[in-house]
């Protein structure tokens, strides 16, 4: 049995992973958690563990209106803390360090009507301090890898599931309240939380290192997902192309309106080939994942 230490208490991903291991891999993985807030973790001996899984970080930044002090905090937590933790794990003899990077390192999604497809050769180009703070950590932890210290970096797209934060709850709220919704032909890579947890279990049990781009088996259209949520919630919602002109207009308006329109209806996908590995990690398809999230 491999022992896993999650660095970062009470995170959505960390708690979901711990529960998933308990339910599906209790005979192969054991999980402990250490809080990173007060600094006492620096005195903890990591050497009794096989794997450190670093999930501590700041997310969902309002990148438009923040002070320099807030920006420094993002770098302190997302970059400096991640690298410091990775260095301690290595010094304490840990065999594998697993780090949650993000698709945010590739910049914003393509605006409404344009396409953005990420391949293994796509160079990260963060659009703001939040993305850059993750990118600097992504690079920093990988520099520590050697033949005795496996570094596993995940760059997942938008993660969703029961109790998740971020964009999905906003979509769900609209799906359950709006009478109509635009039928826009966009594509997004997304990752259901239980698919992510299965992926994590596989790379830990197998001892897989390197950069990984896990995603659902199929791309998601915003209008399709909203329609699925509405159906599961038994809410009558009309999805029609007749309202697409509103999205097109909003996407070209200045300020926050265009940012929201492009965020909801823009395009950002990982090439499917970079998400295929020598193991199966898609345990739930898109429709079933929505049902499990909303049930």
Q: pLDDT, tens digit, for every residue of 177-186?
A: 999 998 988 9
CA distance 118 to 222: 19
pLDDT of residue 61: 62
Model confidence at 13: pLDDT above 90? yes
Model confidence at 25: pLDDT above 70? yes
Residue 18 contacts residue 6 (beta carbons within 8 Å): yes
Residue 155 contacts residue 102 (beta carbons within 8 Å): yes
pLDDT of residue 122: 97
- Going from N- to C-terminal start, the domains of the chain cover 2-165+191-217+269-286
pLDDT of residue 63: 63
Q: Which of 113-117, 149-153, 215-219, 277-281 has the lowest mean pLDDT?
A: 113-117
For the residues 232-249, what does the mean pLDDT come to? 86
User: Counting beta carbons within 10 angstroms of the beta carbon of residue 206, is it exposed (0 to 12), middle (13 to 18) or buried (19 or more)?
Assistant: exposed
Residue length of the chain: 295
CA distance 89 to 42: 10
- pTM over 0.75, yes/no: yes
Best CA proximity match to 54, nearest among 24, 112, 13:
13
CA distance 4 to 25: 12
Best CA proximity match to 268, nearest among 131, 158, 148:
158
CA distance 46 to 175: 45
CA 103-107-109 angle, 5° bins? 85
pLDDT of residue 57: 85
pLDDT of residue 199: 98
103-157 pLDDT, tens digit each: 999 998 888 788 899 999 999 999 899 999 999 999 999 999 999 999 999 999 9
Q: Which of 84-93, 181-190, 238-247, 254-263 has the lowest mean pLDDT?
A: 254-263
CA distance 184 to 244: 6
- Alpha-carbon distances of 258 from 18, 117, 198, 205, 250, rounded to whole Å: 38, 21, 36, 44, 5
> What phi and psi values does residue 101 have, to the nearest 5 degrees?
-85, -150
CATH number of 2-165+191-217+269-286: 3.40.50.720
Confidence of residue 288 (pLDDT cuts 50, 70, 90): very high
Model confidence at 256: pLDDT above 90? no
């Amino acid at each position: 049995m491999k022992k896993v230490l999650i660095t970062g208490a009470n995170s959505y991903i960390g708690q979901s992973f711990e529960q998933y291991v308990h339910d599906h891999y209790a005979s192969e993985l054991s999980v402990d958690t250490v809080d990173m807030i007060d600094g006492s973790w620096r005195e903890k001996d990591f050497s009794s563990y096989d794997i450190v899984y670093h999930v501590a970080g700041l997310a969902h930044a309002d990148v438009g209106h923040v002070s320099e002090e807030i920006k420094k905090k993002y770098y302190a937590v997302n970059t400096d803390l991640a690298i410091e933790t990775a260095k301690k794990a290595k010094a304490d003899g840990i065999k594998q360090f697993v780090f949650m990077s993000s698709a945010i390192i590739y910049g914003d999604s393509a605006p409404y009507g344009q396409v953005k497809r990420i391949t293994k050769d796509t160079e990260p180009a963060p659009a703001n301090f939040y993305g850059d703070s993750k990118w600097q950590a992504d690079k920093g932890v990988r520099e520590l890898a050697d033949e005795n210290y496996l570094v596993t970096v995940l760059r997942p797209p938008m993660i969703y599931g029961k109790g998740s934060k971020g964009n999905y709850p906003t979509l769900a709220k609209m799906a359950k309240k709006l009478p109509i919704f635009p039928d826009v032909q966009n594509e997004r890579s997304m990752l259901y939380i239980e698919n992510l947890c299965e992926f994590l279990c596989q790379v830990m049990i197998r001892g897989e290192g390197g950069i990984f781009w896990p995603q659902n088996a199929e791309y998601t259209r915003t209008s399709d997902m909203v329609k699925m949520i509405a159906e599961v919630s038994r809410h009558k919602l009309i999805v029609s192309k007749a309202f697409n002109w509103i999205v097109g207009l909003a996407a070209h308006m200045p300020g926050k309106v265009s940012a929201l329109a492009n965020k909801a209806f823009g395009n950002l996908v990982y090439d499917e080939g970079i998400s295929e590995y020598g193991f199966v990690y898609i345990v739930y398809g898109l429709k079933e994942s929505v049902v499990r999230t909303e049930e």
